[in-house]
Amino acid sequence: MGAQIAQVVSFAGVPVVLTDMSEALAQRGIETVRRIYQARVDKGKMTSEQLEEKMLLVTAAAGQATLKDVDLVIEAAPEDLHLKQSLFRELDGACSPGAILASNTSALSISALGAATKRPGKVIGLHFFNPAYAMPLVEVIPGLATDQQTVDDVVGFSESIRKVPIVVKECAGFLVNRLLMPYLNEAVLCLQEGAASLKEIDQEMMTFGMPVGPFALLDTIGLDVSFEVARILHESYGPRMAPAALLEALVKAGRLGVKTGRGFYEYDGTSAQDLERLTTKTREETGRPKTRWAPTRLLLTMVNEAVTALQEGVASARDIDLAMVAGTGFPKDTEGPLHYADRLGIDHVLHELEEFAQTLGMRFWPAPMLRRMVSAGFTGRSAGRGFFTYGGPT
């Protein structure tokens, strides 16, 4: 991700220093930047001369000594709070007092990172999505001590590198991962409980309009990364975010997705028998009888969490929908999970969540806002008002 972010910054014409623990690792990052640009050349989107001009903007260095004059640092180390806090302490000492220290973390506390420095007002989350050169969204996450000027500066920077910034109130998973993970986890639970096959689930969600199925997406993200995000969310939000046992089983078996050649799918030419064995074993251990499949099992977990995030003021309804369209590929014609709920009817969403809660578990317990909206007649598009206002009753 560090190399991808460096390419995005240089593509906007901004000089960037790519640092790592050693010169060799930093040079590997430079090679990744070149490969991204070369793919653009191969597609006829830029010339070889333009490639070389952009590469002049990217330099490699080991350690933090070369960062004393930079205005903004974007950290992209592994998702380990203690590791990141140690790194932020080092950056605090190496960078000028006016430099902003940003983290590309997808779920960890920005406030905790700020507390590791003597400049918490200049520490902020700047979360890019993978691949950074293709995904337009960035989440901007102020910590408890982050100055408003820092927020404004990072929003302006994001726009200058042609990204769509959404300012998100700090919470575990921020916005997109907090909404996406329940959707992905429910897909794993459906497979674990024998509700439908892996390919059926992926295909139906693509038919709905998602760019890839949930299992293909999990394999691309990495099952270890997904499980760690799920663990953080479970720790913060409790039982409704409990990771599916099958997800943990695959991680323990070393099936981490595309990067290891095997995840939910096989990428190394081997058979799928190992996955079938793990699924059967997990199903027997959990003792759950076969459950009913419906695409809304996945979609309404996302909708329900979106409503909960809206209640908490994590982001506005508009920004929640924009973030899910730009950050996950939620179908544009559906406009996002809250528009989708308005289209279904808030009363229908409430009723279906209540049924799922009775038959599948309390993770489907409806967000309180849904019940208030139905009581007030805010039932969605057909009523002219729901999460959004429409032309009038139809």
Q: Which residue has the higher pLDDT, 354 or 21?
A: 354
Per-residue pLDDT tens over the stretch 309-319: 999 999 999 99
Question: What local confidence, expressed as pLDDT, does residue 392 receive?
Answer: 56
Mean pLDDT along residues 44-64: 93
Is 140 a residue whose pLDDT tops 70? yes
In the chain, the domains with their CATH numbers are 2-167 (3.40.50.720), 176-286 (1.10.1040.50), 295-383 (1.10.1040.10)
Question: What local confidence, expressed as pLDDT, does residue 394 receive?
Answer: 44
Mean pLDDT along residues 226-232: 92
Phi, psi of 144 (to 5 degrees): -60, -30
CA distance 340 to 119: 42
Q: For the chain, what is the largest distance between any 2 Cα atoms, rounded to a whole number of angstroms?
A: 64
**In this structure, which amino acid lies at residue 20?**
D
Per-residue pLDDT tens over the stretch 150-179: 999 999 999 999 999 999 999 999 999 999
Q: Provide the 3-class DSSP secondary structure of residue 316.
A: coil
Give catalytic residues, as residue numbers: 139
SS3 content of the chain, % helix, strand, coil (to 5): 55, 10, 35
* Helices 295-311 & 368-375 angle (0-180, nearest 10): 90
DSSP-derived secondary structure letter, 288: P
> What region, left, alpha or beta, does residue 6 occupy, with left being phi > 0 and alpha being psi -120 to 50 degrees?
alpha
Q: Within 214-316, where are the H helices?
A: 214-221, 223-237, 245-252, 273-286, 295-311
Mean pLDDT along residues 298-323: 97
CA distance 182 to 303: 10
Q: Contact at 8 Å (CB) between 179 and 305?
A: yes
**Residue 145 in tokens:** 């001590």
> What region, left, alpha or beta, does residue 29 occupy, with left being phi > 0 and alpha being psi -120 to 50 degrees?
alpha
Mean pLDDT along residues 89-100: 94
**In this structure, which amino acid lies at residue 145?**
A
**Model confidence at 321, in pLDDT bands (50, 70, 90)?**
very high
DSSP-derived secondary structure letter, 253: T
